[in-house]
Amino acid sequence: MSALPPELIDGLNVRSVRPVHGGDIAQAYRLDTADGPLFCKTHPSPSPDLFARESAGLAELRAHAPALLCVPQVLRESPNGLVLEWIDEGGSARSGSEEAFGAGLAQLHRVTRAQFGGLGGDTAGYLGSVAVDLRPHPDWPEFYLTRRLVPLVDQAVEAGRVDPRARGMLEAIAPRVAQLCGPSEPPALLHGDLWAGNRLVDRSGTNWLIDPACHYGHREYDLAMMALFGGFGPQCWRAYDEAFPLADGWEQRVAWYQLPPLLVHAILFGGSYGDAAIRALRTYR
């Protein structure tokens, strides 16, 4: 217990601490307290404002999430970690929870604001632990190209994780970025890192959203991330499209919107992710 930052646990009447699964970036623990279990995540040397950004994203989602979706409350925050309410996992995604997730996400994506980018005055954020530019911009294709694709391709190439040809491929694609991004839509509140591991189902079958990389962007971005690693059933996709119909051709844009997470995974983990990013770029030459 002494290894946990005192500002996170002092006064919580913690009786025991045990490690639990909690992602690739932070260490995660269950805190058993006199008032029930809590979840704690920490990092010994986090990137600047890493946990503040996560806390702000959870607060934004919690403020706007419909009744069909739950978001854990942040109970403690410090530069070294967070303490959140405990989610009693153990439920399995079934038809009702899949439909509720799809319909709930569609409602969340209807939350909008004037410009694309960060929350409030935030001008920077993270995808995983990779810093990204969230300065607001009125035009989504320009935002996506200059705030996401160009910086991430540059970083991946410089790290030796992606073939340097990626830069030329992106330059060739850039004049068509407005077409590739699909029909214009208002900024949508995005989870920003919506793979199946960041959606939990509790013992009652209720869906929870965790570990966001929140910003306002094109809603197909979240859907592309959902499709990247799977884990969402057909009932989920149908319920989403019924509640908030998708624009024609969205399936052809999935690989386009998977580029940022592929590039981030290449930067962080290497392996085959760099090759997958090149294949996605080649799709749109």
The pLDDT tens digits for 116-159 are 999 987 899 999 899 999 999 999 999 999 999 999 999 999 99
Verify that 52 and 120 share a domain, yes or no: no
Verify that 61 and 176 share a domain, yes or no: no
Q: Which of 63, 85, 107 corresponds to the end of one domain?
A: 85
Q: Which of 85, 104, 122 corresponds to the end of one domain?
A: 85
Could you report the per-residue pLDDT of 24-69, keeping only the tens digit for each?
Answer: 678 999 999 999 999 999 998 999 999 999 999 999 999 999 999 9
In this prediction, residue 285 carries a pLDDT of 86
Does residue 259 lie within any of the structural domains?
Answer: yes
Q: Is 24 exposed, middle or buried (0-12, 13-18, 19+ CB in 10 A)?
A: exposed
Could you report the per-residue pLDDT of 95-105, keeping only the tens digit for each?
Answer: 689 999 999 99
**Region 206-225: what's the mean pLDDT?**
97
Tell me the residue range of the domain where 275 lies.
95-283
CB 247 within 8 A of CB 131: no
Q: Which of 85, 103, 135 corresponds to the end of one domain?
A: 85
> How large is the C-alpha radius of gyration of the chain?
19
Verify that 52 and 125 share a domain, yes or no: no
**Angstrom distance (rounded) from CA 163 to CA 153:** 10
In this prediction, residue 92 carries a pLDDT of 66
241 is catalytic: no
Report helix, strand or coil for 145: helix
CATH of the domain at 24: 3.30.200.20
Verify that 162 and 186 share a domain, yes or no: yes
Rounded to whole angstroms, what are the CA distances from 180 to 75, 183, 211, 256?
41, 9, 28, 7
Domain total for the chain?
Answer: 2
Verify that 107 and 223 share a domain, yes or no: yes
Catalytic entry in 122, 193, 211, 222 = 193
Does residue 227 lie within any of the structural domains?
Answer: yes
**Angstrom distance (rounded) from CA 234 to CA 47:** 37
Verify that 30 and 150 share a domain, yes or no: no
Verify that 21 and 148 share a domain, yes or no: no
**Angstrom distance (rounded) from CA 113 to CA 189:** 8
Q: What is the DSSP string of 100-131?
A: HHHHHHHHHHT---SSBBSSTT--EEEETTEE
pTM, full prediction: 0.95
Verify that 80 and 123 share a domain, yes or no: no
